[in-house]
Amino acid sequence: MIVAGILAGILLSSPTTTRADERVFRTPCKHRDGHNCESKSVSITDAWSQVSSGDGHTCARVKNNHCHGVGGVCSFKGAVECFGNDSDGQSSPPPGAYSDVDSGRSVSCAIKSDGGAVDCWGDRKSPTVAAVPRMYGFDKISVGGFHACGLRRRRVHCWGSNSMGQLTPPDPRMEYLDVAAGNYHTCAVQIDGFVSCWGHDGEKESSGYPRDQRFTQVTAGNGHSCGLTILKRAECWGRNREGQSNAPTDAYFAGLSAGHRHTCGVRHASRSVDSIVCWGSNYEGESRARFRGHFVAVASGAFHTCALSAAGDIRCWGSNRFGQSIGKFSTGLRGPT
């Protein structure tokens, strides 16, 4: 899902919030083209429906129409907003409504809500941007180091670099339930619940998966992979020098996300302070999650991590060298408490 990048920086302090953990901005709120939106007070509570973390940037999908930032900028349902490193345009998404978004090394991709076509933006020299398939009907997207994969009618379609065979599933006729693009490898959950992986295998990231387990979700990092079993347990394989494949054995999970050298999970049905659990590298604090509240999703980047709360706000921790953990929008993003 992401690849290496030497990031540094310290997370900024939390923004001030109003009661009920809610930021309220006074309009006039403006479109990006300068025209006014509807003029009224707008709460950003329940603003986001998805978050994805890349190498040095973060993208999020808008859940409800709202205004954000100093001076107020409109965001509409389904739109993608990004923050952090934008040196290759990876934090400058096109306008439109999207149903899924994911972030990689210097590229992000999203699926259009109307028709299921794929848009990718960022480094134009990247084969991930240059080779976007001109097809409709995608419902899942995953961006890796130099390639991306999507699910279309339960078939895996990958594009970009194939230097390690990461674009070619072992059985192109197989139907899949989930797919995850890693640095130079890809993993997917077959229709029968078993995992298959292909591409680079120097750390056993493509061959070390358990053959006797059935899965509902898979995630791929830089040299390691993890899957969520039907019993809601985490199983990881591949590189483990930093402990990124040492999944907790005493926890049940609702979702997992593999980063560069760390992994995070959302505990199943947990509303405790420890609803987010991370393991592996902690060079920039990317595995140090301490938040109160109920979280429903987590996204591990290179050296930062973000999580989506049940209330629809996003909280990030770890490296903030490019602003990927605090964001350019004052929308409830915050550091550890």
Count other Cβ atoms within 10 Å, centred on residue 28: 13
Do the domain assignments include residue 298?
Answer: yes
Nearest CA among 147, 164, 139, 60 for reference residue 104: 147
225: which strand partners? 220, 237
Do the domain assignments include residue 291?
Answer: yes
Q: What CA–CA distance (Å, rounded) separates 223 from 129?
A: 23
Answer positive or negative: Cα dihedral of 213, 216, 233, 199.
Answer: positive
Element containing residue 74 per DSSP (H, E): strand 73-75
Do the domain assignments include residue 66?
Answer: no
DSSP readout, 138-166?
EEEEEE-SSEEEEEETTEEEEEE--TTST
Q: What CA–CA distance (Å, rounded) separates 322 from 58?
A: 10
Q: What CA–CA distance (Å, rounded) separates 263 from 128?
A: 24
Do the domain assignments include residue 201?
Answer: yes
* pLDDT tens string 17-27: 222 233 333 33
Domain that holds residue 108: 101-318
Q: Which residues contact 159 (CB under 8 A, 6 or more apart)?
A: 127, 128, 131, 132, 133, 147, 148, 149, 167
Do the domain assignments include residue 94?
Answer: no
Nearest CA among 216, 234, 302 for reference residue 262: 302
pLDDT for residue 289:
80
Do the domain assignments include residue 215?
Answer: yes
Do the domain assignments include residue 30?
Answer: no
Q: Which residues contact 43 (CB under 8 A, 6 or more apart)?
A: 22, 23, 24, 66
Do the domain assignments include residue 143?
Answer: yes
Instruction: Give the rounded distance of the alpha carbon of 10 from its chain centre.
Output: 21
pLDDT for residue 143:
98
pLDDT by residue, tens only, the chain of 337 residues: 543 332 333 233 232 222 223 333 333 455 544 445 543 333 445 689 999 999 999 999 998 776 655 455 677 889 999 999 999 999 999 999 999 999 999 999 999 999 999 999 999 999 999 999 999 999 999 999 999 999 999 999 999 999 999 999 999 899 999 999 999 999 999 999 999 999 999 999 999 999 999 999 999 999 999 999 999 999 999 999 999 999 999 999 999 999 999 999 999 976 555 689 999 999 999 999 866 678 999 999 999 999 998 888 889 999 999 999 875 443 334 433 3
Number of domains in the chain: 1
> Can you read off the two tokens belonging to residue 278?
């991370």
Give the domain CATH number at 269: 2.130.10.30
Q: Helix H segments across 59-211?
A: 127-130
Write out the E strands in 259-313: 262-267, 276-280, 295-300, 304-309
Which residue type sits at 18? T
